[in-house]
Amino acid sequence: MTRLIVISNRVTPPVGKGEESVGGLAMALAAALREYSGLWFGWSGRTTPQFSGQLAMRRVEGVTIATVDLEPGDVEEYYNGYANKTLWPLFHYRVDLTAYDRAFDAGYQRVNRRFAETIGPLIEPDDLIWVHDYHMIPLARELRRLGVKNRIGFFLHIPWPAHQLLVTLPTHKALVESLFDYDLLGFQTPEYATAFEEYVLAEAGGGRTEDGRLTAFGRTVEYGAFPIGIDAADFADMLGAERAGRTYDRMVAHTVFRKLIVGVDRLDYSKGLEERFAGFERFLADNPDLRREVLMVQVAPVSREAVETYQEIRGRLDALSGRINGAHADLAWNPLRCVNRNYRRDELAGLYRAAKVGLVTPLRDGMNLVAKEYVAAQDPADPGVLVLSRFAGAAGQMPEALIVNPNSPEEISEALKRALTMPLEERLARWRALFKRVRSEDVSAWRDAFVDALAGRPAEVVAAKTPPALAS
């Protein structure tokens, strides 16, 4: 059988339900690889004074995990620098936060070369190679330089930015050119696939072939939308776990005369937490009759603490929640609770289930798995309501949510009111439609659709398995 080699910046072994790592990519890949006996390669998360290319290998539940340590300078320039200070903000439409620093670019290219040189010798002729996310865009080019001829696919977990934003990056052309060393490019939504196509046609003098592929830089690449899903079955099982039940009971007891609103996000400016708090504040001000009946809990574990912008958000959120609680709390109740702790997944499942509203309002998001997890965790007889940003990739697959513009406190406030007062019948109709898609368009469907397309399996098989068909 063809072996699948998955390459991503960080590697999280496919472990059980108590897994505490945070981040959509790790969650999705752990679930996908649990079913596949393959090889997963990436950075160990550790540093070494001098890069040696020494691989640490272990086997976890049928998956071989191979990791390598990086030098401190690599982490600074490649991970904290080019990945998280340049590409992440730019691809999330935050040109104002984007660092354009040549040293970061050089570090990014160097680390991609190092990754390629480390994993290259382990690649066998029949292997399919699946590279993940913005940390690794030039990896195929480096592998090709080493003579690797295998089929290589790339999946971008974050948005592809609009053409006019991407050209603010001085090296935009080289970055896009390196994507043409892949055989298949996957985006989260048709909108992002189209944005990529627009860049290639307008900026790289590219064209489209009759079978819907893109040509530019003397090469041809297949591309399309492969919306990622969650492991919905696993999530449902998790609700039966003792800890999920305990968290659920605790939250229900705590909100006995109140309705719980929940948000769960890595602490990141793309998630729109400040705007969300402002929307909640507006709701409290606009609805004196409802405001004592609610409690909002925001779980926001810290991430990327080495990047200054991330340290600053925490301070701003603390000030904002202090202001909201200061204005609206009474002796026994605070309307907003924000916890910067990392919870277990089964605890999150219990928390989602206890919440009458899931408030998911990123300013920009590739997909957003929390929206899908919230739906998967609901009680089929009495489901809560999902309030979802129109700028999350998930909005395209979840039109039955209450869709809002996260920049508008008024829209958030109105959606909260509507969600909290929605009759059971309407909640049921919306939730059933959402749940059906969360269950069928799950992480296995995503993995199979991408791997089938990468393996060049017959088009009808791909079309049947890919949620929206490849961009054509």
Whole-angstrom distance, CA of residue 345 vs CA of residue 353: 12
4-10 and 214-216 as β-strands: parallel, antiparallel, unpaired? unpaired
444-456: string of b/e by CB count within 10 Å (b at 16+)?
bbbbbbbbbbbbe
H runs (alpha helix) in 287-423:
308-328, 345-354, 369-376, 409-420
Give the residue at shortest CB distance from ligand GDG.
24
Residue 369 within binding range of ligand GDG, rule CB under 6 A: yes
Nearer to ligand GDG (CB atom), residue 28 or residue 119: 28
Across 226-264, the runs of DSSP E, i.e. the strands, are: 259-264
Task: Identify the residue among 324, 348, 349, 434 touching ligand GDG (CB under 6 A).
Answer: 348
With CB under 6 A as the contact rule, the residue among 14, 24, 279, 383 that binds ligand GDG is: 24
Minimum CB distance to ligand GDG, residue 13 (Å): 14
- Quickly count helices (H) and strands (E) in the chain: 18, 16
Window of 23-31, 141-149, 198-206, 289-297 that interacts with ligand GDG by CB under 6 A: 23-31
What angle separates helix 369-376 from helix 24-34, to the nearest 10 degrees?
60
- Fill in the DSSP letter of residue 76: I
Torsional sign, CA 171, 177, 178, 184: positive
Task: Tell whether residue 355 is a contact of ligand GDG (CB under 6 A).
Answer: no
Q: Distance (Å, rounded) from C-alpha 48 to C-alpha 341? A: 29
Give the up-direction half-sphere exposure of residue 231: CA atoms within 13 A in the CB hemisphere. Answer: 22
Closest CB 68 distance from ligand GDG, rounded Å: 22
Catalytic residue, candidates 92, 132, 157, 172: 157
CA–CA distances in Å: residue 71 to residues 67, 83, 446: 14, 16, 34
Which of 90, 267, 370, 443 is the binder for ligand GDG (CB under 6 A)?
370
Residues in contact with ligand GDG, shown as a per-residue x/- string from 227 to 256 under the rule CB under 6 A: -x----------------------------
Give the residue, chosen from 183, 231, 365, 411, that forms a contact with ligand GDG under the rule CB under 6 A.
365
Pairing assessment for the beta strands 128-132 and 4-10 based on DSSP bridges: parallel
Exactly one of 13, 23, 45, 245 binds ligand GDG (CB under 6 A); that residue is 23
Minimum Å distance from CB 255 to ligand GDG?
Answer: 19
Listed in sequence order, the residues at least 6 apart from 361 whose beta carbon sits closer than 8 Å to its beta carbon are 263, 271, 272, 275, 276, 279, 387, 388, 389, 404, 406, 412
Question: What is the edge-to-edge ordering of all strands in the sheet holding 152-155?
Answer: 55-60, 63-70, 39-47, 4-10, 128-132, 152-155, 184-187, 219-225, 214-216, 207-208
Distance CA 282, CA 280 (A): 5
Distance of CA 464 to the CA centre of its chain: 24
Which lies closer to ligand GDG via its Cβ, residue 206 or residue 272? 272
User: Binding residues for ligand GDG, how many (CB under 6 A)?
Assistant: 26
Is residue 346 part of the annotated active site? The answer reads: no
**Cα–Cα distance measured from residue 357 to residue 430, given in angstroms and rounded to the nearest whole number:** 13
Toward ligand GDG, which CB reaches closer, 284 or 412?
412
Q: Are 135 and 158 in contact (CB under 8 A)?
A: no
Instruction: Name the residue nearer to ligand GDG (CB basis): 284 or 297.
Output: 297
158 binds ligand GDG (CB under 6 A): yes
Q: Determine, following the binding rule CB under 6 A, whether residue 389 of this chain makes contact with ligand GDG.
A: no
Token pair belonging to 354: 């206890």
> Applying CB under 6 A, which of residues 4, 6, 7, 25 lies at the interface with ligand GDG?
25
Q: Is 365 a catalytic residue?
A: yes
Smaller CB separation from ligand GDG, 120 or 245: 245
> Between 272 and 301, how does the x/- string for binding to ligand GDG read (CB under 6 A)?
---------------------------x-x
Span interacting with ligand GDG, options 77-85, 247-255, 364-372, 408-416, rule CB under 6 A: 364-372
Residue 28 binds ligand GDG (CB under 6 A): yes
Nearest-approach distance from CB 228 to ligand GDG, in angstroms:
4
CB of 454 to ligand GDG, least distance (A): 17
**Residue 90 near ligand GDG by CB under 6 A:** no
Q: Does 448 bind ligand GDG (CB under 6 A)?
A: no
- Which of the following is catalytic: 183, 365, 448, 452? 365
Residue 29 engages ligand GDG in binding (rule: CB under 6 A): no
Q: What is the DSSP string of 119-166?
A: HGGG--TT-EEEEESGGGTTHHHHHHHTT--S-EEEE--SPPPPHHHH
Burial-class residue 35 by CB neighbours within 10 Å (0-12, 13-18, 19+).
middle
- The footprint of ligand GDG (CB under 6 A) covers 20, 22-25, 27-28, 157-158, 228, 264, 266, 299, 301, 342-345, 348, 365-370, 373
Please identify every residue annotated as catalytic: 157, 365
